[in-house]
Structure formats: structure tokens, C-alpha cells
Structure 1
């Protein structure tokens, strides 16, 4: 069965019947996949390219998932800080280090003593610093510990006792009970 264009060309005398039949056979061979040895090589290249594209797509998807997870963690931290921040008021400048720079926040006497005892913690919130209660700071620390700037918590709570502490806890270094200073 020929297509209408081939029929028109034959009627007009612009094409020969043998040439039209030959073209039709070649097209039929191509449709059936009997093109020769070049088809398997093309198939292998196509499969290889498809596998490489799939691998790239997986890597890009993993990177997007990691970025989305990081944004989600940052949003949770921001939300915890905004919900639990302690109102700062006072005229005492409380100075602390954030990396290499020294910053200060204005606090009153009660906030200053709570900071010194470790009941309050200073956390970075964008360009500003906020005071958080210890419970909220623990939630923030679970998600992103780099946000906590200053924490005067008890070393026994966070850090395990070192080898030196164990050495001096032996019986030979006991302080006598009757020692008067």
C-alpha cells in the first residue's frame, strides 16, 4: 500500500514504479528494525545515556532533598526561637563572643544572673541575638547546635568528666573534713 503522495508522483510521471517500490521496502525494513549492525550499537549508547541521565537526576533530587531538609530545620529553629525568646530589658551591657567578634546585649540584673548561672542561653536569630530558656535551647541544639552562641550550663550536664577529673577523685586526694579556711 502506497501513500497518496507516491500515487500522485506515479500518475504525474515524476517517479518510476521500481524506485517507489524500493523506497517502500527500505521504509518497511526500518520500521521492523532490520536495519543492520548499527542498531545494537545505537541501542547500547542510548541505554548508557539513559542510565547517566537517571544517575544525574538522582543526584540532583538528593541535593534538592538535602536543601529542603536544611530549610525545614532552619525554619523550625527560627520558630522555636521566636516562640520562646525572653524579653530583653535593662541597661547593663552583657558582652559575649560570637566566633571572633565580641557582641553585647542589654539586660537587667536578673537576666544577667540567669545568664551567668546558665538558666538562660544566647542564640543567634538572623543578625540579632535572643535570650532563650534552657529547655528551648535544648530543642534548638538538637536541630542546629551552631545557633547557640553562649551557654554557661553546668559542665556535668553536657560534657563527660575527663581523665584528669577521674584521677583526682581517688581516695589519696580527699580533703579532710576538719579543714578550716
Structure 2
């Protein structure tokens, strides 16, 4: 599409059609080159936008991970609440939780089940609960840190076979309660 001046020059014979087309193509190239080459400010703004988008993705991934952890802890807590055994008895069962020695009241049959590993002590809110072995895997898959005492696991936590041989020399009475 030509402007009025170009039309007048063509009618007057002062310009050729090919020359006007060449000038129009050149002007179109210059316009597209100006639009394609962003200025330094535009490039900086684009870089900042990409960095912000990346930070936002990382923050969202962290939030999603935290939400997943909270959800798994809530599921473990719900499993414990549904399966916990009633803690009542006349004797204390002492165990270590980290660096502290804790105790719960148990009956003699529950004490024997704890020793065999058929029941396990787990953290429940600010206290402890006893749950059957059947639900331990479910709890452990969601939050292994909730399990405090589990005598049913194979092996010892310490030095292994050599240490076991050493301690076999010392006989511990069956009625020992600490």
C-alpha cells in the first residue's frame, strides 16, 4: 500500500515503481530489525522475569514437599490413634528416647509382648503409645522418627557379631526390671 506522495510521484513520472518498492522493502526491514533487537533494558527485564519465575518454582516445590511431609505425619498419627493399645498397668516400663529415659505403665503381659517385639512404642503427640507390630510398617513408611522402641527388628544397633559374643559371657537374670 502506497502513500499519497508516492502515488503523485509515480503519476508525475518522477519515480519508478521498482524504486518505490525497494524503498518500502528497506523500510520494512528496518522496522522489523528495530522490533526484533531488544534494548538492554528489555533484556534485563526479561532476565529478571525468568529469575523470578525460577525462584517461584523452587519455593513452590519446597512448599509442596513440606505439605507432603505434614500430610504423611498426619496419616501416621491417624494410624496410631486408630490402633493404639490402652496403657494401664501397675509397673513402669522404662525406655530411652534420645538422651532421656522415659517410662509408661504396662501390665506384665504387655511387658512380655514388648520384649518379644510383637508390640512397639511410638511417639504420639506429647506422649507415647503402644501399637501392634502389624501397623508398624505403615507408620514407618510415613514417618520413621515416630518409632521409639522396637525389639522386633532383626540384629542389634551396635557392633554386630563380635559384640554379641562378648556379651554372651554375662548372664542377665530373667526377672531384671530397671
Q: If the TM-score is normalised by the length of the shorter chain, which range does it land in?
A: 0.5 to 0.7
Partner of 1:135: 134
Whether 2:66 is the aligned partner of 1:67: answer: yes
Unpaired runs of at least 5, structure 1: 1-31, 169-181
Partner of 2:80: 81
**Misfit runs of 4+, over 4 Å:** 32-36
Compared with structure 1, are the counterparts of its residues 154 and 147 closer, same or farther at alpha carbon in structure 2 (3 Å cutoff)?
closer
Partner SS for 2:86: coil
Deviation at 1:154, TM superposition (A): 4.7
Q: Distance in 1 between matches of 2:153 and 2:64?
A: 37
CA RMSD of aligned residues (A): 2.5
Deviation at 1:153, TM superposition (A): 0.4
Deviations 1:96-133 (A, max 9, x none): 00000000000111111111110110000121100000
Q: Distance in 1 between matches of 2:92 and 2:137?
A: 25
Partner of 2:123: 124
Q: Distance in 1 between matches of 2:70 and 2:153?
A: 31
Compared with structure 1, are the counterparts of its residues 98 and 74 closer, same or farther at alpha carbon in structure 2 (3 Å cutoff)?
same
Q: How many residues align?
A: 130
Compared with structure 1, are the counterparts of its residues 45 and 33 closer, same or farther at alpha carbon in structure 2 (3 Å cutoff)?
farther
**TM, length-normalised to structure 1:** 0.65
Deviation at 1:42, TM superposition (A): 1.4
Deviation at 1:142, TM superposition (A): 1.2
Whether 2:12 is the aligned partner of 1:46: answer: no
Q: Distance in 2 between matches of 1:83 and 1:155?
A: 26
Q: Distance in 2 between matches of 1:154 and 1:78?
A: 21
**TM, length-normalised to structure 2:** 0.66
Partner of 2:103: 104
Partner SS for 1:90: coil
